Amino acid sequence: MEYEWDFPAGIAEYKKALELDPNDTTARLWYSEDLGFVGGHEDEAVQEIDRAYQLDPLSPVVAINVGDVRVIVGRFDEAIPACQKVAQTDPTFARSHWCLLRAYWAKGDHAKVVEEYKRFAELANSPNQTQFAEALERGFQAGGWKAALNKGIDALLQQRKTGYASPFEIATCYADLGDKDKAFEWLNTAYRERDFWIEGLRSHFLLYSLHSDPRYAELVRKIGFPQ
């Protein structure tokens, strides 16, 4: 699913796993995420993560994916309370803030994106995420959201000089800025590098604006997404 992009075979393997053990919450969790990312199976993705939660309601990883999957499939108003519930239950669980910042980003509440990104980076104890979060905050304070995105992109590009930063993430930032040429440049880099996140090409909310561009259709064809 995530590296070879053989989606029919990946889905068949998930279904076989669930046939062997219908109560395997990990299999249902990853199946729901992959279905959501690939697109076209939104209702099934939500059903799978909700079933995983029914099987293991005490797992924070499962609980946060109830929100995450809803972000992936575009149900942002449903995602926010699900993410908030986990954040309130376990304030030190970093992924609850990752879930929230993406939902707020999709809703255009950029002040909350900056706030939640700072909290996520702090709890995740990630130097790269901290650098990106700080760049967003500096830019936002100085010149609003566009300035924040430009500062964030600068941070990601700097990270690529000495280590790794996701080209797909850079592409989404450029797409949010409205720079389609740069967005496609970095999406093609993500394709060449087989960036895991490009599995979400069809579902990511920041790329909706690219769907009418012929370059988008070509990339969808090259990756081989199912119809």
pLDDT digits (tens, 9 = 90+) for 81-97: 999 999 999 999 999 99
Tell me which residue has tokens 């304030």.
Answer: 91
Which CATH number is 1-124 given? Answer: 1.25.40.10
Q: What is the mean pLDDT of residues 28-52?
A: 97
pTM for this prediction: 0.95
* pLDDT given at position 226: 84
Of the candidates 151, 95, 142, 85, the one whose C-alpha atom is nearest the C-alpha of residue 119 is 95
The percent of residues above 90 in pLDDT, for the chain, comes to 99
What's the CA gap between 52 and 49, in Å, rounded?
5
151 close to 117: Cβ distance less than 8 angstroms: no
172 close to 207: Cβ distance less than 8 angstroms: yes
What's the CA gap between 223 and 227, in Å, rounded?
12
Q: What is the mean pLDDT of residues 46-75?
A: 97
Q: What is the mean pLDDT of residues 29-48?
A: 97
* pLDDT given at position 125: 94
